[in-house]
């Protein structure tokens, strides 16, 4: 099924389309070479699906939209409200960064708990941890930075983003 990046669409399954991904990817040095359009679409859908698990500020625009964005009542660093008819640039950037991470290393969304190991043997037990250990479902630090002003915060909780 083709990727649907219609803003506020009832069948949308990605925050950005492949053309937007390609344009944003030009500014990054870690984009894997030779990814097909189908691979990019799969990565964008998976990235969006993972980003949909976050809680965001503001309210969805319409009960008929499939994704959590666009939203009303969300403001940028300068106090300007993001357009309710568009996906904010930080969310587009976060989607692109997560899709790149998925194209580079699909383990970013591994929920088995084994993503933190390079090699795992059973007998005699031998574990080889990855150079960069991931927690199941964890987001790359660049994605967390892009989302820092979009995600909802809870009273009594502080959000720490390492970068």
Range of the domain at 70: 18-147
Confirm whether 116 is domain-assigned.
yes
What is the count of structural domains for the chain?
A: 1
The pLDDT tens digits of the residues spanning 128-160 come to 665 555 555 678 899 999 999 999 986 555 555
pTM higher than 0.85, yes or no? Answer: no
Confirm whether 90 is domain-assigned.
yes
pLDDT of residue 98: 95
Confirm whether 4 is domain-assigned.
no
What is the Cα–Cα distance from 29 to 54, expressed in whole angstroms?
27
Query: What is the per-residue DSSP string for 48-117?
Result: HHHHTTS-BSSEES-TT-SSS-SEES-B-TTSPBPPTTS--HHHHHHHHHHHHHHHH-GGGG--SS-TTE
Confirm whether 7 is domain-assigned.
no
The pLDDT tens digits of the residues spanning 37-96 come to 999 999 999 999 999 999 999 999 999 999 999 999 999 999 999 999 999 999 999 999
């Amino acid at each position: 099924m083709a990727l649907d990046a219609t803003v506020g669409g009832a069948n949308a399954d990605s925050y950005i389309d492949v053309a937007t991904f390609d344009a944003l990817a030009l500014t990054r040095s870690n984009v894997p070479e030779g990814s097909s359009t189908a691979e990019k679409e799969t990565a964008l859908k998976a990235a969006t699906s993972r980003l949909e698990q976050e809680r965001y500020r503001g309210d969805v625009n319409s009960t008929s939209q499939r994704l959590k964005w666009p939203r009303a009542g969300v403001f940028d660093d300068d106090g300007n409200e993001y357009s309710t008819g568009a996906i904010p640039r930080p969310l587009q950037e976060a989607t692109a960064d997560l899709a790149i991470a998925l194209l580079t290393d699909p383990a970013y969304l591994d929920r088995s708990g084994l993503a933190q190991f390079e090699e795992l043997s059973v007998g005699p037990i031998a574990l080889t941890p990855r150079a960069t250990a991931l927690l199941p479902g964890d987001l790359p630090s660049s994605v967390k930075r892009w989302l820092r002003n979009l995600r909802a915060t809870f009273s009594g909780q502080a959000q720490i983003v390492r970068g």
